[in-house]
Chains A and B, each alone.
Chain A
Amino acid sequence: MAATTLRAVTHRLTTTPVDQLPSIAAFLATSLSDCAELLSAPQAQKPGKGDSDHAAQIHKLKTRLVSLLQDRSVEGRWTAVVLVKAAVEAGQWEMLRGYEPVVRSLIGILAKPDPVSTRKMCIITLTRIFHLTYQYPTLVREITTPHLPGFVTAALNLVSTLVKLPSGSTRKPKPNTPFMEIVLHAILELVPRHPTIFRPFGSQLRSLLAEILGSSQVYYSEQVFDVAEQLFASLYKCAPKDKSGPAWTDDCKSTILSAHRAADHVFRAVAEQWESVNPTLVPAKQNYSNELADTNPDALGLPGWAGIHFGTDRLITLLRLLSNFISMPSAVTIAIPLGSILDLTSRLTSVTVPPNGEASQNGVQFNPQISRDERELLWAELPRIHIACMDLLAHVACVLENSTTAISQSILEQVTWVFKNEKFRRDVRSASYSLLTSLLTLNGPAMTKQSVASIANVLRVCCHDLLPQIEESGVAGKFQSESKSKSKGGQGTANADSFLNPELRKNQPLKAGPQFPQLQQAASGLLQSALASISPNLLVPSVRAEIDRTIILTADKNAMLASVLNPIPAAKGRGAGASIMPFLVRSYSDQMDVEALVRPRMPVLMTSAELEAYTEMEEEEEADEMADEPFTAAPPRSSFLNETAAAYAEAKNREHSPVSVAPLHKRTYFEETTTESHISSASEQQPVQVKKARFEENIQQAPAATTHVSTPRSTKVEGSMVPQQVQVAPQVSTNSAPSHSAAGTPLPVDDSDDELPTLNIDSDTDDEDDEDDDVAMEG
């Protein structure tokens, strides 16, 4: 099939007029990727007839693509770029081998005045080709080493101009080029794979990126900024092989130093109380009479800036750079300077916006040499800095995961401090929620009462953010105060539906304002992790009640699950804590996790009795009409067992269902020596079955046996669960069988399970048969 498709594609490619090719390009590309098997098959290993035909078709395709790449029309080249990408993806190594001309023509297109889309796709295709060659030294030698420098130069020429200086060449970005983002992405993708080839471009790239990141005149989009930061944080990989570790440390250290220097300037309106743990750090001297500015390039080579807004921008850029330094895949082992990072964030978060703009309310002291205007500008800019700080700390927590433990208390203190003073900013709230979520999931279970108390206020505000805003704020306020007073009155665990007043809500139109999905998402995540991770004993009842109320009103399924799974502990002198389970089931009764919570399939363990029931069930299905006559059913059953029990026992033995035959067996003997319980009889059957099974194994190779020989598979986990569910059916049916008159009498006298007649009752003759068998086998 693939061969016909390939022939059709080459035929269409050669016969369709060039200017009509673009419209069928997508179709041809899809067809090509369907031929992946054929295109990627090694050429040498295609013996037999018809293969020469395939080889000819592939050759035809390759030559047609090369000629199309050099076609005179724009359409031809556009189509060729699309198809080359499709062919390379499909054929991989086989397609690239000996296909160096195509790379050369693609690089040639970059210099032509082709449509923007052709050149963009060209860059992507080339990146992909160099990306693929990375694993194959032969291809690297053949394609990458000769052509990658040409590609990098061509791509850089698209977005920048080369300035030759005596000290070395630098690059200046071209304004308003549509290629900036895509070129930076391509370089970012290739630097980690071919660092040696990028080494000569290191300084050019650095100057270009410094211009972009440090620019205050030219506007770059957020995406360009983002990728430029990532690329800047990867530049250390261009350093010689053994030096990339120290290069990373140097870059990281100078980023932190630059941030401190920028902070020296930006924070000059306040007298900082912070003291660095690093004694070598000295604050920059500055002239207070000048306008706020730093004219000299900093340690990273970013140009100077002027004005508090651009100073803040610089500080944020540096913090984001730092985040990228620690979270991007590294070339070697790196030493993340946690001490310095926490030192920097503790400095930046120690200055917060004072309430009412007055000094000394939150420990901020003003610098009297600076005008009030500048100070108020600083208050306006501060939240942005703190958001970037929290972002950085979230990256730290994400990289370290459980190793954050040592510093999580410090992070927690910084977040709650910022939140306390700047919660009026929505972004600050959103960032704090996300950071707290990651801290709680890591260290929530071991949190102390003091730490939980410190975030109680955050949780309250979080609830408020989630609740639908009602137009008339007065009612909502009354509503809240009511709930608070109520909970203080000792009814903290009162059922949350007392807060629900449907009449009130019906009349109030929801506030039609802008929506903040990000904030809501972060807030919902925080509530969820707070419920799941923090010990319910430590949460103040009023906070817990408010959280429960919020998640009911917002119908947050995961948070409701977390609340149900971590119920409020029953306190002494009070009834059992109310659970919000009814709300969960009302809203999401059709969801599987809710079903598992409400109707657990217990017990989860497969016992011998269940194994019995399992085989019985099969019998029921197979021999339906025989169920009426259990006595006559015995002979067919034994023959049936020969087939099924072998398979089941085999499956069970190979699988993992731990059957607790032995303890059950023995225990029943201990406790019920006098009473003839059906349990003992049932458990006596078990060894027989196993023995039969083994016997069968020897005689006839059960087909199931061979399939289970191999290593554990994930599907087996479900395998053991299945019998529990179906177990009930045969019990009922056998018990209700009309001729089973003896069923009632030997009911369990066992203390624990008198409510459930769990085991099927077989006739006495059956048992005797089994016992006989048992004896016979043992004997």
Chain B
Amino acid sequence: MLSESFVASTLSSAKTPAATLRDVGICLQEFQPSPQLRSTFKKSSTNTNCLAVSPSHIFSAQAEKAVVHVYSREKGNQEALVPFPERIRSIAVAGAKYGDVLVLGTEGGRLILWETCTGRQVATTASHLQPVTSIVVDPTSNFILSGSDDASIHVWSIPNILSFSRPAQGRDRQPQNAPIRTFSNHRAAITSLAVGHSSGRHNIAVSTAKDNTAIAWDYQTGLVLRTYLLPFSATCVSLDPVDRAFYVGYEDGSAQSVDFYRSNSVQHPLHDSSAQSTPAQVSAEDRWLPPAADSGATKALALSYDGSTLLSAHDSGKVLSWNIARRKFAASIADYTHPVTNLVMLPPSGLPHSSHTLNRTIHAIVKPRLDNAFADPSHAPGAIPADYAFQAHIVAPSQPKSRAPSQFSQALTHAFFPDSIIEDGLAELAAFRQPGGSDLIRVAPAAALADTAQATAQDTHVADLEAEVAMLKKKAAANDTARHATADEVAQLRSNLTQLQDYINELHGKQEAAQQDKVQRQAKKEDRDAKRREAWFAAEKKGRNGDAAMKKTEIDDGMLTSESDDQSDE
């Protein structure tokens, strides 16, 4: 359930409170939805600005004693009592949402930073001339603003103070652990400080002092943004969650809101340089008066989470609430009899907001180590001592790079199984169902033993079948090669056949040619014979010796005949 609470601490006085509040010094009170006391912590007496609350612990610097009480919020008891060399006049927690570092302002004008998870303690120079009465830490947890009775406000850099090794100092050599900036526009003791809610470079601070002024200024540059002349000296100040206005409380128990946005100027009113030098007057009649005159001075102010209600703590022991929209007193929330000196609003519980969730918790703080164990090792200046250890309980994993969620973690938080796994499974089942595969696997018997036996039997069967298949394949291959061989042979023979046929044709051609030749020769021979005979007959007719003429022609023809004979022999 959504609820909002605050922590209030009191300064013990001569008055005797009701039995339930005896000895009680710190109260954890629920504010919304119904105001009621949730828990109490005993034996504490604090001055203003001496209460600090971290997610796990409550620290209260005791009035008139150089002691800080540490209460565990988890266990609800007093966990430790830490003595310091000087009285502590103001405390605050640094370290952003974890609140790991406690900043203490001492009577002597120094700051002490105590890392509650390691026990390391670092003191600064005594830059304030008077006790440090108010401390605030900026939202980035990089700067500390400390106000003192000496009218000055110092700005300190936390990394500068805490760092083991320091960057090489340049020309502007400053003493170590000294403030980086000093704001000295106030002329009397600083009473209260508030810091804006921006993490950027243009964050503001509002300080009030006993010279009846409130100044809004830029702590990153020291520039005065606006001076407000208050009707009285403010005892405490609080800033709107959106930095639109600030609220101050006065000695007479009244409260007042001072609005930054009065004009409709387009420029941010605080950064309007024409108005920066002119102080703004704040009227006394605008105050929100307390319901009764005996409520006592306003000691502390706090704003609800939504910024609509202002809570004020009073000397009379009352905690009053004021309606900011109506600008007047709304209700009395609680009465603790003793003067209430501090009010710290807690972040509302029940908001599921990632920026409030903590990755680690601290169960027990580590007291400051008094021995000089965390001094620099002599041989390596700037090195971190070997026994510097950070004590914490890690409750949630913290990864610099977010890992892609593994398939397992996705499946684990899924309503059944992610689609990818279901699809893989279906694919695998389909593979099981393949012919061949399904016969073997589907008959899954109940008993594992029988199953394996059958499986082995079937395995051997499969092996046999496979061997057979291999053999058959081999045979088929052999047949195939044989067939190929015969086919080749046939082709060869066919080609031979065609060759032979060609030869035959050629021979036939030749034979024919020879025949023709022969016929021609025969014809020639007959021709010749006929000629010879004609010649013989002619000779015979002429009366010459026919034989001689015939011989003559025979000789003529002899050459021809021999020639033709030769030809025919070929």
Contacts and interface: CB of A to CB of B under 8 A. Distances in A.
A655 B201 CA distance: 30
Interface stretch (A153-161, A310-318, A709-717, A736-744): A709-717
B559 interface: no
Contacts of A428: none
Contacts of B406: 181, 185, 223, 227
B180 to A, nearest CB: 8
Given A658-B245, A752-B265, A29 B416 contact: yes
Q: Which of B201, B377, B419, B432 has most chain A Cβ within 10 Å?
A: B201
A603 B261 CA distance: 7
B470 interface: no
Q: Which of A75, A82, A339 has most chain B Cβ within 10 Å?
A: A339
A277 B416 contact: no
A717 B305 CA distance: 10
A323 B257 CA distance: 50
Nearest to A340: B386
Contacts, number: 351
A327 B399 contact: yes
B306 interface: yes
B477 to A, nearest CB: 35
Interface in A84-134: 85-86, 89-90, 111-113, 115-118, 120-121, 124, 127-128, 131
B379 A275 contact: yes
A32 B417 CA distance: 13
Interface string A332-374: 1111111110110010000000000000000000000000000
Contacts of A604: 242, 244, 261
Contact of A445 (B143, B382, B441): B143
Interface in B372-406: 377, 379-380, 382-401, 403, 406
Nearest to A451: B167
Contacts of A445: 140, 142-143, 201, 220
B163 A333 contact: no
A488 interface: no
A72 B260 CA distance: 79
Interface string B428-465: 11001100000001101110100100000000000000
Contacts of A387: none
Contacts of A716: 306
B307 A277 contact: no
A753 B400 contact: no
Nearest to B382: A410
Contacts of A337: 386-389
B312 to A, nearest CB: 15
A676 B399 CA distance: 64
A655 B393 CA distance: 38
A657 interface: yes
B160 A448 contact: yes
A592 B543 CA distance: 151
A78 interface: yes
Nearest to B424: A117
Nearest to A657: B325
A443 B140 CA distance: 8
Contacts of A127: 412
Given A111-B448, A335-B391, A655-B306, A118 B425 contact: yes
Contact of B117 (A89, A403, A602): A403
Contacts of A25: 422
Contacts of A424: none
B263 interface: yes
Contacts of B118: 338, 406
B304 interface: yes
A188 to B, nearest CB: 9
A275 B351 CA distance: 49
A401 B396 contact: no
A335 B389 contact: yes
A670 B426 CA distance: 83
Interface stretch (B9-17, B95-103, B517-525, B528-536): B95-103
Q: Which of B308, B399, B446, B451 has most chain A Cβ within 10 Å?
A: B308
A711 B165 contact: no
A275 B264 CA distance: 64
Contacts of B333: none
A409 B163 contact: yes
A605 B283 contact: no
Nearest to B33: A711
A658 B264 contact: no
Q: Which secondary structure dominates chain B's binding surface? A: loop
Contacts of A118: 425
A471 to B, nearest CB: 32
A277 B380 contact: yes
A433 to B, nearest CB: 12
Interface in A644-671: 652-667, 670
Given A82-B422, A343-B383, A406-B164, A712 B306 contact: yes
A22 B431 CA distance: 13
Given A338-B388, A450-B170, A408 B393 contact: no
B101 A403 contact: yes
A705 interface: no
Given A333-B363, A339-B389, A712 B263 contact: no
Interface in A629-653: 652-653
B348 interface: yes
A22 B384 contact: no
A774 interface: no
A408 B159 contact: yes
A666 B170 CA distance: 53
B409 A399 contact: no
A544 to B, nearest CB: 14
Q: Which of B167, B325, B383, B392 has most chain A Cβ within 10 Å?
A: B325
A327 B398 contact: yes
Given A403-B117, A656-B304, A752-B263, A330 B393 contact: yes
A290 to B, nearest CB: 31
Interface string A244-288: 000000000000000000000000000000011110000000000
A486 to B, nearest CB: 27
A328 interface: yes
A566 interface: yes
Interface in A548-566: 565-566
A74 B444 contact: yes
Contacts of B143: 445-446
Contact of B412 (A131, A450, A602, A662): A131
Contacts of A710: 33
B175 interface: no
A326 to B, nearest CB: 8
A659 B325 contact: yes
Given A75-B429, A346-B383, A89 B163 contact: no
Q: Which of A82, A124, A607 has most chain B Cβ within 10 Å?
A: A124
Nearest to A609: B264
A118 B444 CA distance: 15
A373 B210 CA distance: 75
Nearest to A533: B140
B281 interface: yes
B327 interface: yes
A570 interface: no
Contact of B401 (A30, A399, A434, A753): A434
B250 to A, nearest CB: 15
Contact of B282 (A78, A346, A663): A663
Nearest to B403: A226
A277 B377 contact: yes
Given A402-B101, A405-B141, 20 more contacts: A22-B425, A23-B426, A29-B417, A74-B429, A83-B416, A115-B432, A124-B408, A276-B386, A337-B389, A398-B399, A403-B100, A405-B162, A408-B159, A446-B142, A450-B167, A604-B242, A660-B245, A662-B288, A662-B327, A753-B265
10 contacts: A73-B442, A333-B392, A403-B117, A413-B165, A435-B400, A454-B167, A605-B245, A656-B325, A660-B327, A713-B2
The 4 closest A-B pairs by CB, nearest first: A656-B308, A752-B263, A117-B425, A86-B416
